[in-house]
Amino acid sequence: MKTDILIIGGGPAGVVAATTAKKHYPLKQVTLIRKEKKAVIPCGIPYIFNRLDSVEKNLMPDQPLLNNQINLIITEITEINPKDKKVVAKNGNVYSYDKLILALGSTPQLIPIPGSEKQGVWLVKKDYEYLKKLRQAVLKSKNIIIIGGGFIGVEFAEELSNIKNLNIYIIEKLNHCLITNFDEEFALAAEEKLKNKGVKILTNKTIKQIQGKEAVEYVELDSGEKIPADLIILSIGARPNVDLAKKAGIKTEEKGGIIVDEYMKTNIPDIFAIGDCAQTKDFITSKNIPVMLASVASTEARIAANNLYQIELIRENKGTVGVFSTFIDGLALGVAGLTEKKVKQENIDYLIGEAEAPNHHPAYLPGTKKIKVKLIFTKSSECLLLGGEIMGPESIGEMLNILSLAIQQKTSLFDFNTWQIATHPLLTSAPTVYPLIAAAQNALLKLKK
């Protein structure tokens, strides 16, 4: 089969690349190949146990592809032949292309814990049938241990805490859950919410072995402590799927993804890479960072699709602003750009501005909650925004997106003082104390002093 644009991978990156390419090049034939019959929504996986109440409700619909006259083929690609511009499927079928986009995704990372092969140890796989079995196993369990206190681990714990008669543990080797993404005061707020939900958090702990005959019975820590468990979820990150690319001579980082330029092009002409399998560079430091988010993948997909046949200078990847968010028992937490800890690691002279304000005005309105903002600027004549952390109700999600755009546009501390905003008693904080502006003013006062 011959196609103009071929995408391998059916996650968010692949789907966005396919639909964007078809919109920009409507006369081109676009084909998407994925190995899964049903594609799950990665970010929704933690919520299949209670909020969604099934795996079926967490599927990516194929209709957007079909509506855009995109060919959808279910098979596994085992070989790429860049010289002849062909790919070979596991069933022997051959597909030739003019442009190739690799959206190969990532695979859950394994750590060498003795006993991890026992029945009852599960990974967080983006696999429909696997997740159905995991859900059934969870609902039959009593003691569940989640190894890893990052975003996925924390979200699994919060979701499972809503199910009656489950004992939930998080075991984290660092001093706090979420500490690799947040500063300590935000990580502590998340932990407090989890503890209030009954989740038992064990930090600064490492696992010696997983014990049991054939199935899991308990986990033994290096301290000698034994935690009962009949189900374990490993949530310790993921590694990019690059083996297929490597075999084709496509360059990859030593321990990371496929090396790409600002247009998502690889070292081989007419081959692009996007999403979890591609190299990601920080917008501020230009250092490689292991960011694997559907939001980042979608941005990269649009950039690649825009630059397939001609370079558009306005469509280049200038680096990734790490924008993370989560939701724990009514508390939304998010970060955009660099945290204070990361700024210190980069030896950047910085300035902090902080503010708190109710999300409604006056604060006596029903349902009012507090928003806390922490902004970080360069301590220089420019005073550029480096990052920000926010926690509060659900509405802070869009405030976080504002910060991401502000970082990309190299917004300064002084720009916040002339920022024009819309407010409403039921929708936002008061204009007199709008937390993003108030935090910037707090930083400005420190600068003047």
Question: Per residue in 252-297, pLDDT tens?
Answer: 998 789 999 999 999 999 999 999 999 999 999 999 888 899 999 9
pLDDT at position 111 is 82
Q: Which residues contact 26 (CB under 8 A, 6 or more apart)?
A: none
Contact between 2 and 94 (Cβ < 8 Å): no
For the entire predicted model, the pTM comes to 0.93
Closest CA relative to residue 14, chosen from 259, 245, 237, 272: 272
CB of 221 closer than 8 Å to CB of 205: yes
Which CATH architecture describes the domain 5-42+59-106+239-306? 3-Layer(bba) Sandwich (3.50)
Please check whether residue 7 is in contact with residue 29, taking contact to mean a CB–CB distance below 8 angstroms.
no
Question: What homologous superfamily is domain 333-448 in, according to CATH?
Answer: FAD/NAD-linked reductase, C-terminal dimerisation domain (3.30.390.30)
Q: How confident is the model at residue 8 (pLDDT cuts 50, 70, 90)?
A: very high
When the candidates are 3.50.50.60, 3.10.350.10, 3.90.25.10, 3.40.50.150, the CATH number that belongs to 121-236 is 3.50.50.60
The span from the CA of 345 to the CA of 81, in Å, is: 42
Domains of the chain, by residue range, sit at: 5-42+59-106+239-306, 121-236, 333-448
In the structure, what pLDDT confidence band is assigned to residue 313 with cuts at 50, 70 and 90?
Answer: low
3-state secondary structure of 289: coil
Q: Which residue has the tokens 């321990």?
A: 255
Chain mean pLDDT for the chain:
95
pLDDT at 314: 57
Task: Find out whether 218 and 227 touch, Cβ atoms under 8 Å.
Answer: yes
State in Å, rounded, how far the first CA of the chain is from the last one: 69
DSSP state of 52: S
74-94 mean pLDDT: 97
pLDDT at 315 over 80: no
- Note the pLDDT tens digit of each residue in 211-249: 999 999 999 999 999 999 999 999 998 999 999 999 999
Q: What is the pLDDT of residue 193?
A: 97
Dihedral (CA of 344, 346, 350, 352) sign = negative
Q: Which residues contact 81 (CB under 8 A, 6 or more apart)?
A: 87, 88, 248
* CATH topology match: 121-236 vs 333-448: no
- Which class for 210: exposed (0-12), middle (13-18), buried (19 or more C-beta within 10 A)? buried
Name the residue among 285, 250, 284 with its Cα closest to residue 265: 250
Each residue of 96-116: pLDDT tens digit? 999 999 999 999 988 889 999
Residue 60, Cβ neighbours under 10 Å: how many? 20
